[in-house]
């Protein structure tokens, strides 16, 4: 029986692998799968999947070296940045931290549709163990790339945005140029190093040296521990499912009573 208190059986978070998602694959996390399936029920989600391939670039994390027969020009073209980001002015700034949006804040208010500055956005859920394991690494990224913007939002609180940008599983990381999504991080190993490689391959911006995950990154801004709370969406879903099964059963019995009566009328 599914528990309505997320994280109740996930006390051994530190021993879990960093790869994986909470979503379509039930064997990864059945609770996450059910919740994320509910977010994707809106029909617009499928249409976005078709559109995203028009401008989404496939991440080159861990790509192999070009074949020996390729010339130097083709090699350089493979390594050239795919997104030209306007680096923000960091003069006078000392603290570079991740911005976590609350329920009342809209992502589009933090993106400049007329600019070419880049923002890395994380869609997460506080009850997903994979989001929690990614949190310390994502918290450290603003120090590694001070010229970029970093945002995180709870996909369960921003379901319309999740559907709009094709978030059917969390954690989901998107690179925006202005207000346009340009690339999605698809690597299963979500660590600071793989995120650095992804950003460099997409933007050509090199990470600051000697930036590592610290104890402060384990604390916040994005929490690395699962939040235990009643999942009312799951409760409502279970109630709706049980009600539908009861209704279908009653209707089936009614039809069975009507059929013999109809047959008797035909015989007479």
Residue 105: exposure state from Cβ atoms within 10 A (0-12, 13-18, ≥19):
middle
Cis amide leading into 221 (omega within 30) = yes
CA 265 to chain centre: 60
What is the pLDDT, as a whole number, of residue 128?
A: 83
pTM of the model: 0.58
Q: What is the mean pLDDT of each run of 10 residues along the chain (268 residues)?
A: 46 50 47 44 39 38 39 48 78 79 82 85 86 89 89 80 71 87 84 90 87 87 76 80 88 69 52
Cis amide leading into 237 (omega within 30) = no
d(CA 119, CA 77): 24
Query: Can you tell me which residue has the tokens 């059917």?
Result: 168
What is the pLDDT, as a whole number, of residue 27?
A: 40
CA 250 to chain centre: 40
Helices 30-39 and 232-267: angle between axes, nearest 10 degrees: 70
Query: Can you tell me which residue has the tokens 């000392």?
Result: 94
Residue pair 151/121 in contact by the 8 Å Cβ criterion: yes
What is the pLDDT, as a whole number, of residue 75?
A: 42
Cα distance between the two ends of the chain? 51
CATH architecture of the domain formed by 16-61+82-227? 3-Layer(aba) Sandwich (3.40)
What is the pLDDT, as a whole number, of residue 139?
A: 92
3-state class (DSSP) for residue 129: helix
């Amino acid at each position: 029986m599914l528990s309505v208190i997320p994280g109740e059986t996930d006390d051994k978070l530190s021993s879990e692998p960093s790869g994986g998602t909470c979503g379509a694959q039930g064997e990864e996390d059945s609770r996450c799968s059910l919740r994320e399936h509910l977010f994707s029920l809106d029909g617009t989600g499928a249409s976005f999947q078709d559109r995203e391939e028009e401008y989404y670039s496939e991440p080159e994390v861990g790509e192999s070296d070009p074949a020996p027969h390729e010339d130097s020009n083709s090699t350089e073209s493979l390594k050239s940045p795919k997104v030209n980001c306007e680096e923000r002015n960091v003069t006078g700034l000392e603290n570079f931290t991740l911005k976590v949006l609350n329920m009342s804040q809209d992502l589009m208010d933090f993106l400049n549709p007329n600019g070419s500055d880049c923002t890395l956005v994380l869609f997460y859920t506080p009850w997903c163990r994979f989001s929690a394991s990614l949190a310390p690494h994502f918290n450290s990224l603003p120090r590694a790339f001070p010229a970029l913007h970093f945002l995180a939002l709870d996909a369960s609180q921003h379901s319309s945005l999740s559907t709009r940008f094709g978030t059917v599983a969390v954690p989901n990381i998107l690179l925006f140029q202005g207000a346009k999504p340009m690339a999605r991080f698809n690597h299963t190993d979500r660590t600071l190093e793989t995120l650095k490689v992804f950003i460099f391959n997409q933007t050509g911006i090199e990470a600051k040296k000697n930036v590592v995950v610290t104890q402060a990154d384990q604390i916040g801004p994005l929490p690395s521990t699962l939040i235990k709370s009643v999942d009312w969406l799951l409760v409502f879903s279970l109630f709706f499912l049980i009600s539908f099964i009861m209704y279908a059963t009653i209707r089936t019995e009614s039809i069975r009573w009507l059929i013999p009566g109809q047959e008797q009328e035909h015989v007479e």
